[in-house]
Structure 1
Amino acid sequence: MKLEGKVALVTGSAQGIGQAIAIRLAKEGADVIIDDRLGNTGAQETCKEIESLGRKSLVVGGDLANLADNRRLITEGVSNFGKIDILVNNAGVEKGADFWNVTEADYDFVLNINLKGTYFLTQDFVNHLRDTKRTGKIINVSSVHEELPFPHFSTYCASKGALKMLCRDLAIELAPLGITINNIAPGAIETPINTKLLNSPDLMKALLSNIPLNRLGKPGDVAGVAAFLASEDADYITGTTIVVDGGLLWDYSEQ
């Protein structure tokens, strides 16, 4: 198991991609801190699955837009496991609207979680590594929309485009500390965020016509890449984005 002895923190890990990543890291030997919104029962399901694999797990609920909650994620994780080696910034939200109708509340909702929360949780994690004089891995679950326009989702694209540049910038700044940072950019994945798409045959047909592999991705497709980036096999990779989209990014056109 490539992550034996490691401790990982995975945000938004009560369902979908985050849940799949948390479980996959556990299968590779890591103990896992599960983060999601308070009261999300899926977090307990993730915890049970990880513990059934013989790994330790901890659920810490909170709001990533709240910086005090972010610090608590780190402090409670360290208090229970003694350290954190891997941070997976997976939690994310989107809100569709024509650009001219986007409200300040819409903007804050998306950017506060997708960018601000990720930024400052990463800062807290880096400070933990600096204080303990250890190296570590940061993995951001971004989106093909860090590159690909997504009309009517301008706030989402803005947040993911910012993550792309943040990853590149921090790769340089954190490298002397032995900390790597990389993005994973999923395309269309079978998760709750795509419920509307999954329930619309017409939308699905149009999308699949733009995916060369002719299928939606599975959460496990993303989780496998996360496990690789968290392992020693990826020690010389930093500042890059790995696209997991079945070829969508290079074969896409708006219908």
Structure 2
Amino acid sequence: MKILYWDTFAGISGDMALGSLIALGADPEKIIEQLHSIGLNEFRLDVRSRQVQGIQATDIDVVLLNELQLESDHSHEHEHEHEHEHEHEHEHEHKHEHEHSHEHDHSHKHDHSHNHNRFLPDIQKMILSGSLSDRSQKNALRVFDVLAEAEAKVHGTTLDKVHFHEVGAVDSLVDIVGTCIALDLLDIEEIRVSTLPWSKGFVQCAHGTLPLPAPATLMLLRGFKFRESGITGELITPTGASLMKALAQQSNFPEMVIQNVGYGSGKNDYGIPSLLRGVIGEV
């Protein structure tokens, strides 16, 4: 049996999770192709390697494109043979706009507000509409189910009335569904996670200023063991928490033969490496 162990010494977010799986060998082109099949087309997945305190990691950015940008990209492909060089520079410009993406579950550029207005049935319909494998579909649906349950309890509403704000945005959808696709591509049969780091502070979101860990995050992680990190700032996002709640169990490092190790990069600097370490092993 193939097991993935997420070492969450610096927390976990959706982009860190997906980055760790790409670092472990999941093909980003196949992930993008399957995301397109469910109607997620208005993005470009920027995947690059970078060093975090001397450790080589995979960093991802979900670059959102409006219709004008899509038309511009199309025209540049025909007008400039050196388009790839310009596109690379353009992605770096967007990279700075998304430096907060470890916290992007809570904040996002408002000019894409039409991507935030999604309810659970909308997302379920998307997931079932494409060419995802049965396992990818099942896992993605489970992640959004547990997230909806947590949001409903926090906000005192029902599942059908839960309004996904930030987590309904394209970048978070790419992170969550993309992670489920990557897990299937790597044929992961079980996920285990380490003890989680507790942090403090506040975060801005659609509902205003909220304490950390964010209420939905904490609701999701009932039953998980934490340790004090001494860090002020968001280490675990609702996206990261929902992935763990739906797909993983917490344990010590399992007795297994290690096959591969990969690191997904976060965007914050709290004095420790902003990394999620993924270890694949065989039991």
TM over 0.5: no
TM-score (norm 1): 0.31
Q: Which has the higher contact order (CA 8 A, sep 6+)?
A: 2
